[in-house]
Amino acid sequence: MSEPYDPKAIEARWQRRWEADGLYRVAPDPSRPKFYFLTMYPYPSGDLHIGHWYAMAPSDCKARYLRMRGYDVLFPIGFDAFGLPAENAAIQHGIHPYKWTMANIERMRGQLRSMGAMFDWSREVVTCRPEYYKWNQWFFLKFYDAGLAYRAMAAVDWCPRCNTTLAREQVVGAERVCERCGTPVIKKDLEQWFFRITKYAEELLDFSKMDWPERVATLQRNWIGRSEGTEVVYTTEQGDPITVFTTRPDTLFGATFLVLAPEHPLVEKLTTPERRAEVAAYVQRARRQTEIERLAEDREKTGVFIGAYARHPLTGARIPIYIGDYVLLTYGTGAIHAVPAHDTRDYAFAKRYKLPIPVVIAPPDWDGKPLPEAYIGEGVMVNSGPFDGTPSAEGRRRVTEALERAGRGRPAVTYRLRDWLISRQRYWGTPIPIVYCPRCGTVPVPYEHLPVLLPEDAEFLPTGESPLRHHEGFRRTTCPRCGAPAERETDTMDTFVDSSWYQYRYLSPHDPDRPFDPEAGRRWLPVDQYTGGVEHAVMHLLYTRFFTKVMRDLGLVAFDEPMVRLFNQGIILGPDGNRMSKSRGNVVNPDDYVGTMGADVVRAYLMFLGPWDSGGPWNPQGIEGIHRFLHRVWHLVLDTAPGDETPPEAGSPLASAVRRTVHRTLRRVTDDLESFRFNTALAALMECTNALARLRDEGASRTAEWAPALRTLVLMLAPFTPHLAEELWARLGQPYSVHRQPWPEVDPDAVREETITLVLQVNGRVRDRVTVPADLPAAQARDVALASEKVRRFIDGKAVEDVIVVPGKLVNVVVR
User: Which 726-785 residues touch RNA, going by CB under 7 A?
Assistant: 757, 759, 761, 763-767, 769
Q: Which stretch binds RNA (CB under 7 A): 32-40, 49-57, 483-491, 680-688?
A: 680-688
Whole-number minimum distance, CB 768 to RNA, in Å?
7
Contact flag: residue 701 with RNA (CB under 7 A): no
From 181-189, 303-311, 465-473, 623-631, span contacting RNA (CB under 7 A): 623-631
Residues with Cβ within 8 Å of 582's Cβ and at least 6 positions away in sequence, in order, are: none
Interface stretch with RNA, choices 128-136, 327-335, 714-722, 742-750 (CB under 7 A): 327-335
Q: Does 409 bind RNA (CB under 7 A)?
A: no
Beta bridge partners of 305: 322
Using the rule CB under 7 A, is 37 a contact of RNA? no
Name the residue among 346, 345, 347, 374 with its Cα closest to residue 361.
374
Cα–Cα dist 60/117, whole Å: 6
Is residue 130 involved in binding RNA (CB under 7 A)?
Answer: no
- Closest distance of CB 711 from RNA, Å: 22
Positive or negative, the CA dihedral 774, 778, 784, 785 is: positive
Rounded to whole angstroms, how far apart are CA atoms 83 and 101? 10
Residue from 38, 40, 126, 336 binding RNA (CB under 7 A): 336
3-state secondary structure 353-417: CCCCCCCCEECCCCCCCCCCCCCCCCCEECCCHHHCCCEHHHHHHHHHHHHHHCCCEEEEEECCC
Q: Under the criterion CB under 7 A, does residue 692 sit at the interface with RNA?
A: no
Interface with RNA (CB under 7 A), residue from 107, 416, 565, 782? 416
Residue 443 or 772 having the CB closest to RNA: 772
Q: Count, in order, helices (H) and strands (E) of the chain.
A: 27, 33
Q: Is 614 in the site for RNA (CB under 7 A)?
A: yes
Q: Residue 248 interacts with RNA (CB under 7 A)?
A: yes
Cβ contact 421:105 at 8 Å: no
Distances (CA, A) of 563 to 432, 541, 747: 27, 9, 34
Identify which of 635, 494, 460 has the alpha carbon closest to the alpha carbon of residue 1: 635
Nearer to RNA, 309 or 676 (CB): 676
Q: Of 383, 656, 690, 741, which lies in the binding site for RNA, with binding defined by CB under 7 A? A: 690
Shortest distance, CB of residue 432 to RNA, whole angstroms? 27
Determine if 724 is a binding residue for RNA (CB under 7 A). Answer: no
Q: Mark the segment that binds RNA (CB under 7 A) among 80-88, 500-508, 618-626, 778-786.
A: 618-626
Nearer to RNA (CB atom), residue 127 or residue 679: 679
Among positions 581-610, residues that touch RNA (CB under 7 A) are 608-610
With contact defined as beta carbons under 8 Å apart, do 151 and 192 qualify? yes
Task: Rule CB under 7 A: say whether 693 interacts with RNA.
Answer: yes
* One residue of 105, 279, 327, 599 binding RNA per CB under 7 A: 327
Nearer to RNA, 412 or 452 (CB): 412
DSSP-derived secondary structure letter, 579: P
Phi, psi of 167 (to 5 degrees): -75, 160
Q: What distance in Å separates the CA atoms of residue 191 and residue 189, rounded to the nearest whole number?
A: 7
- x/- contact string, 431-470, with RNA (CB under 7 A)? ----------------------------------------
Question: Which of 236, 812 has the CB closer to RNA?
Answer: 812
Check binding of 624 to RNA (CB under 7 A).
yes
Asked if residue 104 lies in contact with residue 44, where contact means CB atoms within 8 angstroms, the answer is yes
Indicate which single residue of 60, 72, 87, 325 sits in contact with RNA (rule: CB under 7 A): 325
Nearest approach, Cβ of residue 654 and RNA (Å): 18
Q: Does 413 bind RNA (CB under 7 A)?
A: no
CA atoms of 717 and 369, how far apart (whole Å): 76
**CB of 811 closer than 8 Å to CB of 805:** yes
Q: For the window 640-679, what string marks contact with RNA as x by the rule CB under 7 A?
A: -------------------------------------x-x
Q: Which of residues 85, 533, 574, 625 is near RNA by CB under 7 A?
A: 625
DSSP type of residue 572: E
User: Minimum distance between the CB of residue 429 and RNA, rounded to whole angstroms?
Assistant: 23
Closest approach of RNA to the CB of residue 275, in Å: 21
Does 192 bind RNA (CB under 7 A)? Our answer is no
786 lines the binding site for RNA (CB under 7 A): no
Question: Looking only at residues 157 through 176 of this chain, which bind RNA when binding is defined by CB under 7 A?
Answer: 172-174
Nearer to RNA, 1 or 650 (CB): 1
User: In the complex with RNA, which residue's Cβ is closer, 518 or 622?
Assistant: 622
Which residues ranging from 218 to 247 are in contact with RNA (CB under 7 A)?
218-219, 222-223, 225, 227, 229, 245-247
Binding test (CB under 7 A) with RNA, winner from 43, 257, 326, 387: 326
Query: Could you give the 3-state DSSP secondary structure of residue 808?
Result: coil
Shortest separation between residue 717's beta carbon and RNA, angstroms: 14
Tell me if 134 contacts RNA by CB under 7 A. Answer: no
Beta bridge partners of 245: 231
Establish if 377 lies at the interface with RNA (CB under 7 A): no
| Stretch of residues binding RNA (CB under 7 A), selected from 55-63, 323-331, 351-359, 466-474 | 323-331
Of 215, 352, 439, 740, the one binding RNA (CB under 7 A) is 215
Residue 193 phi, psi dihedral angles, 5° rounding = -90, 140
Please state, in angstroms and rounded to a whole number, the distance separating the CA atoms of residues 759 and 136.
Answer: 65
CB of 69 to RNA, least distance (A): 20
Residue 799 CB, nearest distance to RNA (Å)?
14
Which residues between 343 and 362 bind RNA (CB under 7 A)?
343, 345
Q: How big is the CA angle at 309 (ends 307 and 313), to the nearest 5 degrees?
A: 165
The four Cα atoms 698, 699, 701, 704 give a dihedral, to 10 degrees, of -120
Residues 794-813 that bind RNA (CB under 7 A): 802, 804, 806, 809-810, 812
Assign 61 to helix, strand or coil: helix
Contact assessment for residue 119 and residue 75, using Cβ atoms and an 8 Å cutoff = yes
Site for RNA in 536-575 (CB under 7 A): 538
Q: Which one of 611, 642, 699, 773 is in contact with RNA (CB under 7 A)?
A: 611
Q: Burial of 638 by CB count in 10 Å (0-12 exposed, 13-18 middle, 19+ buried)?
A: middle
Residues 261-320 within binding reach of RNA (CB under 7 A): 261, 294-297, 299, 301
Under the binding rule (CB under 7 A), the answer on residue 515 touching RNA is no
Give just the sign of the alpha carbon dihedral 337, 343, 348, 353: positive
Tell me how crowded residue 605 is: count the other CB atoms within 10 A of its CB.
Answer: 24
Q: Which is nearer to RNA, 174 or 779 (CB)?
A: 174
Yes or no: say if 72 and 110 are a contact pair by the CB < 8 Å rule.
no
**Among candidates 641, 633, 638, which has minimal Cα distance to 720?**
633
792: contact with RNA by CB under 7 A:
no
Under the criterion CB under 7 A, does residue 638 sit at the interface with RNA?
no
Tell whether residue 631 is a contact of RNA (CB under 7 A): yes
Pick from 177, 202, 197, 208: nearest CA to 539: 197
Distance between CA atoms of residues 255 and 234, nearest Å: 11
Shortest Cβ distance from residue 590 to RNA (Å)? 18
Q: Report the half-sphere exposure of 399 (CA within 13 A, side-chain side).
A: 31
For 20-45, give one letter per residue: b (16+ CB within 10 A) or e. eeebbebeeeeeeebbbbbbbbbbbe
Binding residues with RNA: total (CB under 7 A): 81
> Which one, 442 or 614, has the nearer CB to RNA?
614
